[in-house]
Chain A
């Protein structure tokens, strides 16, 4: 039973398009994240949501907009895609109430912008 699942796994799209990536966690965690992993494998946080509220919004273009309909879901919408957006995007979740616990990651969405 997958703990953190992302769809799609692969996404190839043209510059200028708008796309969404979905994430769901069934761990009952209260915090969800989006990370971007570049070609050098560096994982950088983009957003963090705690109980559907935005907690962290790192310096990312406002073309990226996260949406959390409930605490088990955190979707990422990207407008006007650019070549530099090509990367692997990871969703993660953790339980922070009562102390910070480790993050569990999804399998990633490999986005290629052509």
Chain B
């Protein structure tokens, strides 16, 4: 079983829709949770970063972490064509491993 599971999609939505992206994980030691956005032929860029459980909001983006279910989500409200990209979840532990575990990424297309 992979450490982090993510549905690769592709996901296609109309402009203005609410998008829900999700990841599940198996290691209860994960404490730090991140969402990265990767445009074609570019490096991943950090979108949201949360520590432990709870919600975090930044503009149109909301990240949720449910550690009891080992489940994290990213919601995008009022989606725009510029949101079209691959979204990768990542997580890490607090020990000396210093390792980030990535999901396989979900490809999102927002249709104008």
A interface, CB within 8 angstroms of B: 4, 31, 33, 35, 40-45, 48, 50, 55-56, 90, 92, 94, 96, 99-108, 110
Contacts and interface: CB of A to CB of B under 8 A. Distances in A.
B43 A45 contact: no
Interface size class of B (residues with CB under 8 A): 20 to 34
A108 B99 contact: no
Contacts of B94: 99-100
A38 to B, nearest CB: 10
Contacts of A103: 34, 46, 90, 100
The prevalent SS among residues of A at the interface is: strand
A43 B102 contact: yes
Contact of A102 (B42, B46, B96, B105): B46
B86 A90 contact: no
Contacts of A48: 98-99
A100 B97 CA distance: 10
Q: Lowest 9 CB-CB distances: which A-B pairs, in order?
A: A105-B43, A43-B102, A41-B105, A107-B43, A102-B49, A105-B44, A42-B104, A108-B43, A102-B46
